[in-house]
Chains A and B, each alone.
Chain A
Amino acid sequence: MTESAPALADNLHPMVRLSGIVKRYPGVLANNNANLTVAMGEVHALLGENGAGKSTLMQVLYGACQQDAGDIEFAGRIVRFNSQRDAIRAGIGMIHQDFMLVRPFTVAENVMLGLYQGGAGVLDVNTVVTRIRLLSERHGLEVDPLARIDQLPLGVQQRVEILKLLYRDARLLILDEPTAVLTPQETLALLASLRSLVADGRSVIIVTHKLHEIMAVADRITIMRNGHTLATVDKAATSEAELARLMVGRDVLLKVDRPEQVSGRRLLSVKALQVDDERGQPCVRNVSLDVHAGEIVGIAGVDGNGQSPLVEALMGLRRVQAGRVVFDDNDVTNKTLAARAARGMMYVPADRRRMGSLDELSIEDNAILGSQQQFTHAHSPWLDRKAIRAHAEALITRYTIRTPDSHFHAGKLSGGNLQKLILGRELMRNPRLLIVEQPTRGLDVGAIEFVWAELLAARSSGMAILIVSTELEEILNLADRIIVMFDGRVMGELAGSAATNEQLGLLMAGLQSQE
């Protein structure tokens, strides 16, 4: 019972104590004797690989499911939540990765939703607006209470989610991967707000993979592995390297070895590309770049500076307004994606669940997406199920996708395994140019290492690779040349070996580095 809190100092009062939590699902022991103690006024990070049981433990805590064994003690009392409503009434609230907001409603209306107050059914918007202003000022959660949700950027929508909980006076806030959708600036603001919340006597649990954010904001860290809580450590007494080791159970080299290599002929040449967004505003302005065989070119930049439209235009998924895309001396500017794929241009999209795969279909059916023509009996419209199964099984073995079998639905795979499936699928099509958007977004350290190693191996084999990533660490580790985008333009190009964080930071912020 007490092993859960080795680092909890005597003068800290526990806000919540989970002891011996067991949660079984058919065929899976999701939580196996998990213990977690969160003190009043601390930011507690919950760290673990995909499938380590973090989400299940949090679901038990905020009432989305009930434990099979174990106790939840909240504010000194044993409690049992039968629903999220119970949990929020007790003072525990959860913010999911996908926000639960009514998009055509204003901030204030969203905050009011579900509140029962005032007689006669009259909604008093003004009181709500005033209180939102007060709360947002106090915790640095800047937001206009009268703005409509669908007009707000993701970072601000997240603040609305936090305000919703604060309005209900939640004492314990749980945030699941809160920075996955945020720009670096928004991330900094969020972390500051979290500190302000705990200064207020509230407690915060953040579930995350990002070690540097944990080191920036957390007081204590609990590491989960295989459904149980491995250890709880003080931030002051640990390091990113130790956390990574505890999480995956082995030393992670987040510094990879990129052997020197002479790049080959030019495969992709983009000339003065111009692309418009949905509203007809230019979002890619006059972008030119080359990618050669056997090199990795990294496109760095804060999310939303034209990287995605650029990649979509390169793959023929978005209309090009002006400029040319030349692949292997063929102008493919107006060719379809299928025609480009036939020439050897493959693409791993950023949105793995909504674009790169089909949740409801099996691994087998996902393994042939894009090359379904190749998996038919010779010269017939019939699918060759035997060949498809063999292909899927080869994919599972070669890229160590953890799954019971090849009929398993892709939607039930963890993020890391899904990315292995998509990346492996594209690599097995023998691309000459591979475009990878956000190769490791949301993945755990083990999966990141795997993806990086595969990309470097593909480079050694002479493949041309274009990576778009918002993670500087990734760009610096992988790219031979780095192109920085800001506001749809190329701000500058740096050699991978010579680039520094500072230089990149300036370019990403839209400032020309001083010569």
Chain B
Amino acid sequence: MRLQFERRLTAESSWWVSSVITTGAVLFAFLICAVLFLPYTSSPFSAYGALFAESFGSLRGFGLTLNRAAPLILVALGTCIAWRAGFPYLGFEGSLAMGATVCAWLALAVTVTESSAFTALFLLAALPLSFAAGGVWAGAVGVVHSRFGGNVVLISLMTNYVATFIVQYLVAGPMRAPGSQPETPRLPELTWLPNLIPETRTHAGICIAVIAALLCWCLLSRLRIGYELVVTGLNPVAAGYGGINVGQRQLLAACLAGGLGALAGVVELLGSQHRMLDGLSGGVGFIGIVVALLARLHPLAVVPTAFLYAALAVGADALQRRTGAPSSIIHILQSLIVLTVLAAEVLRHWQIRLKPSPTAGGSLHAG
């Protein structure tokens, strides 16, 4: 018997085949990466055990994983909406920073009252305001694109730097806390996201992220406007023929994406950092895009994918402590996952078959 590749008649597109293929690819990446552990431990799989014991085994670690996953999910959701509408937006670092800045300004500007409803009222104001700020920030790219043309990838990438410089100016100047690092004062404790699990640092960001995932899924698969977004992304010509205003829909997608990016900033700010500073995101604005692509731009698949990425990041330090293997191995593993998942795409178009080998069946298949 030998293995043979055979082309499928049409690309396999059912969701369960996709998830089997993706899961297989992720496991394969773990397998390859196991080799890198060999110099440090005789049993690479116990190293993985240590890794996941850290991020899932204890309540504290699990909380950290949730905290890491929340902003990743939000950025990935923004990617889903923008990219599926045919708007390849890459400016999430920027919209995240803008959203966080506006939120920090609001948190420092309000007069804190010691009432139990304050946090809820503050969030009710801060979330929409930051969402709007991110939406305007990304929407500007959409307007420039639809009015003057130009490459969305390049323009949106550049806006990240603009946002970074604005933040650097603000935290070093007008918003700087007196006599400290270039960062704002610590935000009043009552503006922080409420704690979910006592004794841990788990904050409510994950709730915002999961609710957002459900809303995005509804939008794309249940709402008329979502249908129009998807049609626009798949084929702008057919969308125009279907009476859909392509420019308007892409602008809407851009605004929603920017808004979701901004929420990621809010979660990071009010949940973890509690003060605005340069480099607040820690690269979430880009890793989130990778997460969305791995989840095939599906809003619900984004959630487990982000969990995996967050768990790897949280477990990395524990890994170094226990086995002595450098935590950068986790970056290698994350990159390997991207590679294997992309490579596994082939399996949607080709299938592997077992065929009798020519030597074994030689007498029967002569000629």
Give residues in A with beta carbon < 8 Å to B. Answer: 25-26, 28, 65, 78, 317, 336-338, 341, 347, 349, 354-361, 365, 368-370, 372-373, 375-376, 381-383, 385, 409, 412
Give residues in B with beta carbon < 8 Å to A. Answer: 7-10, 13, 222-225, 227-228, 230-231, 234-235, 237-238, 240-243, 245, 367
Cβ–Cβ contact B227 & A365, under 8 A: yes
Q: Which residue of A lies closest to B219 (CB)?
A: A381
Chain A nearest CB: distance from B222 CB in Å? 6
Known A-B contacts A65-B7, A369-B231; the reply to A357 vs B243 at CB < 8 A is no
Cβ–Cβ contact B238 & A28, under 8 A: no
Cβ–Cβ contact A370 & B242, under 8 A: yes
Chain B nearest CB: distance from A362 CB in Å? 11
Cβ–Cβ contact A358 & B243, under 8 A: no
Q: Give me the 4 closest cross-chain CB pairs, A-B, nearest first.
A: A338-B243, A369-B242, A25-B9, A370-B242
Cβ–Cβ contact A372 & B228, under 8 A: yes
Chain B nearest CB: distance from A151 CB in Å? 23
Known A-B contacts A25-B9, A354-B237; the reply to A381 vs B224 at CB < 8 A is yes
- Chain B residues near A373: list those with CB within 8 A: 224
Cβ–Cβ contact A372 & B240, under 8 A: no
**Which of B13, B224, B243, B367 contacts A336 (CB under 8 A)?**
B243
- Chain B residues near A347: list those with CB within 8 A: 241
Rounded to whole angstroms, the CA-CA distance of A334 and B295 in the bound complex is 43
Known A-B contacts A65-B7, A382-B224, A383-B224; the reply to A355 vs B237 at CB < 8 A is yes
Known A-B contacts A358-B234, A360-B234, A412-B10; the reply to A372 vs B241 at CB < 8 A is no
Known A-B contacts A370-B241, A383-B227; the reply to A78 vs B234 at CB < 8 A is no
Chain A nearest CB: distance from B10 CB in Å? 6
**Interface CB pairs A-B, < 8 A, 16:** A78-B367, A317-B240, A317-B241, A341-B243, A356-B238, A358-B231, A361-B234, A369-B231, A369-B238, A370-B241, A372-B224, A372-B228, A372-B242, A373-B224, A382-B223, A383-B224
Chain A nearest CB: distance from B162 CB in Å? 34
- Chain A residues near B223: list those with CB within 8 A: 381-383
Known A-B contacts A65-B7, A78-B367, A360-B234; the reply to A349 vs B224 at CB < 8 A is no
Chain A nearest CB: distance from B307 CB in Å? 28
Q: Give me 17 other A-B pairs in contact (C-beta within 8 A), A354-B238, A382-B224, A385-B222 excluded.
A: A28-B9, A336-B243, A336-B245, A338-B243, A347-B241, A354-B237, A355-B235, A356-B241, A358-B235, A361-B231, A369-B242, A370-B242, A372-B242, A382-B222, A382-B223, A409-B13, A412-B10
Q: Which residue of B lies closest to A374 (CB)?
A: B224
- Chain A residues near B231: list those with CB within 8 A: 358, 361, 365, 369
- Chain B residues near A341: list those with CB within 8 A: 243
Rounded to whole angstroms, the CA-CA distance of A178 and B228 in the bound complex is 36
Rounded to whole angstroms, the CA-CA distance of A241 and B259 in the bound complex is 64
- Chain B residues near A336: list those with CB within 8 A: 243, 245
Rounded to whole angstroms, the CA-CA distance of A26 and B9 in the bound complex is 8
- Chain A residues near B230: list those with CB within 8 A: 361
Cβ–Cβ contact B227 & A372, under 8 A: yes
Chain A nearest CB: distance from B226 CB in Å? 8
Rounded to whole angstroms, the CA-CA distance of A358 and B7 in the bound complex is 23
Rounded to whole angstroms, the CA-CA distance of A376 and B227 in the bound complex is 11
Rounded to whole angstroms, the CA-CA distance of A317 and B244 in the bound complex is 11
- Chain B residues near A355: list those with CB within 8 A: 235, 237-238, 241
Chain B nearest CB: distance from A116 CB in Å? 25
Known A-B contacts A338-B243, A370-B243, A412-B10; the reply to A358 vs B238 at CB < 8 A is yes
Rounded to whole angstroms, the CA-CA distance of A337 and B7 in the bound complex is 41
**Which of B222, B225, B228, B235 contacts A354 (CB under 8 A)?**
B235
Rounded to whole angstroms, the CA-CA distance of A317 and B235 in the bound complex is 15
Cβ–Cβ contact A383 & B235, under 8 A: no
Cβ–Cβ contact A383 & B222, under 8 A: yes
Cβ–Cβ contact A357 & B238, under 8 A: yes
Chain B nearest CB: distance from A65 CB in Å? 6
- Chain B residues near A357: list those with CB within 8 A: 238
Q: Which residue of A lies closest to B227 (CB)?
A: A372
- Chain A residues near B242: list those with CB within 8 A: 369-370, 372
Q: Which residue of B lies closest to A65 (CB)?
A: B7
Rounded to whole angstroms, the CA-CA distance of A357 and B237 in the bound complex is 10
Rounded to whole angstroms, the CA-CA distance of A370 and B224 in the bound complex is 11
Rounded to whole angstroms, the CA-CA distance of A338 and B13 in the bound complex is 32
Chain A nearest CB: distance from B302 CB in Å? 20
**Which of B9, B224, B240 contacts A376 (CB under 8 A)?**
B224
- Chain B residues near A78: list those with CB within 8 A: 367
Chain A nearest CB: distance from B328 CB in Å? 39
- Chain B residues near A65: list those with CB within 8 A: 7
Chain A nearest CB: distance from B298 CB in Å? 14
Chain B nearest CB: distance from A81 CB in Å? 14
Rounded to whole angstroms, the CA-CA distance of A412 and B11 in the bound complex is 10
Rounded to whole angstroms, the CA-CA distance of A336 and B236 in the bound complex is 15
Chain A nearest CB: distance from B129 CB in Å? 24
- Chain B residues near A25: list those with CB within 8 A: 9
Best-surrounded residue of A354, A383, A409 (most CB of chain B within 10 A): A383
